[in-house]
Amino acid sequence: MLLQQNNNASSCFNRSWYEYKLGFSDSEGHYWIGNHVLTWLTRNGNYKLKIDLQSRTNKKWYYAEYNTFVVLPEIYNYKLMVDGYSGRL
């Protein structure tokens, strides 16, 4: 499941709390699933998180994986909790 996508270095991710809460997408392929959805999805499940990154300078791909992740509710400012790192950064 895709949680976030940023196709370039534009400021399209300079958005309000409300937009991050509910999620957004645009015609250029920038996407955020929404913090509220992430809280709901991760509250009872056992999920892994993988982050893929590409360097702007050398174009190499890197990644980070976590065995578990949870996004806490809005009352906790949607804090991300992760554990069990592996990867190539």
At 64-80, the pLDDT tens digits run 999 999 999 999 999 99
Residue range 21-43: mean pLDDT, rounded: 90
Q: Counting beta carbons within 10 angstroms of the beta carbon of residue 22, is it exposed (0 to 12), middle (13 to 18) or buried (19 or more)?
A: middle
What CATH number has the domain bearing residue 78? Answer: 3.90.215.10
How far apart CA 15 and CA 26 sit, in angstroms, is: 12
Report how many domains make up the chain: 1
**Which pLDDT does position 49 carry in this prediction?**
92
Note down the domain range covering 37: 4-88
